[in-house]
Amino acid sequence: MKFLLSLLLVPSLVFAADAPKLPAIPTEPLAAKGALLFSDDFNRAQLGEAWGPVIPTFSIEDGALKGVQTRFDVAAKDGKPAVKGHNAVIGTDVPTKDSIIEVKIKFAGATSLSVEFDDRAFKGSHYGHICLVQVKPNAVIMVDQRDGGMNEEIRAMADNPDMKAERAKRLAGRSLTYPLSPALEQGKWYTLVLETVGDQMRATIDGKPAGYIQSSGIAHPTKSKIELNCGAHDGWFDDLKIWNARSQ
């Protein structure tokens, strides 16, 4: 009876994951905010020189950044080559190693909204992808891209059946998915904070722990570009701030 009663007393609205195979999300921040490196409230008509589209389309509307995916999978037809779909992506050059990023996000039909680190000079991963947090309405996905799915050596194993076991071994733990319950609401603003410190990355949404990963690629020392991306349409970003992270 005591056991049943204790189950009834557990809150049903759990923000962070309780799956046994997922690492526990630290309840305290990994670091404190240091120097402010970059901020943008998007309170203007045009994107400006700080932002460069990687995969269109982004625009500024009503004082916020709006993303709309326009490149979807298209099969080869009538002599035209196939097109591979891709989220809309926009980036700005803000070199960091350890950082704290805060940004408001809003789903208005989008399937995912992401914050990503890249280093275009790094050739060990596809397009210099290092790590990212991807937020879906019902999940937060923490990804080490450099030593995970975007690693060029691992990508080369994909078509080799003899490397299947080795590929799976190297991918283990490089991407972790934390369910969100309740799911994020459409049309509502949330504050996403992403801390990247050493080989650890921690995400919170509205101050509540939402995702965590510890993986070698995250410690990449030259995260030269920060990108925002939107899957499907419409997704919104606003009030972006980036700080250097410093020890508590």
Contact predicate 73/245, CB 8 Å: no
pLDDT of residue 193: 98
Q: What is the pLDDT of residues 34-65, one digit of tens each?
A: 999 999 999 999 999 999 999 989 999 999 99
pLDDT of residue 14: 41
Residue 5: inside a domain: no
Q: What is the pLDDT of residues 94-153, one digit of tens each?
A: 999 999 999 999 999 999 999 999 999 999 999 999 999 999 999 999 999 999 999 999
Residue 82: inside a domain: yes
Residue 176: inside a domain: yes
* 211 secondary structure, DSSP code: E
Peptide bond into 234 cis (omega under 30): yes
**pLDDT tier for residue 86 given thresholds of 50, 70 and 90:** confident
- Specify whether the backbone of 173 is left (phi greater than 0), alpha (psi in -120 to 50) or beta: left
User: On the CB side of 164, how many CA atoms lie within 13 Å of its CA?
Assistant: 2
- Let me know how many helices (H) and strands (E) the chain has, helices first: 3, 15
% of the chain residues with pLDDT over 90: 83
Residue 160: inside a domain: yes
* Residue 132 structural domain: 15-246
Residue 78: inside a domain: yes
Residue 133: inside a domain: yes
Which CATH number goes with the domain that contains 108? 2.60.120.560
pLDDT of residue 226: 98
Please give the biggest Cα pair distance in the chain: 70
Our count of domains for the chain comes to: 1
pLDDT of residue 151: 97
Residue 187: inside a domain: yes
The pTM score is 0.88
Residue 8: inside a domain: no
Q: Indicate if the pLDDT at residue 227 is higher than 50.
A: yes
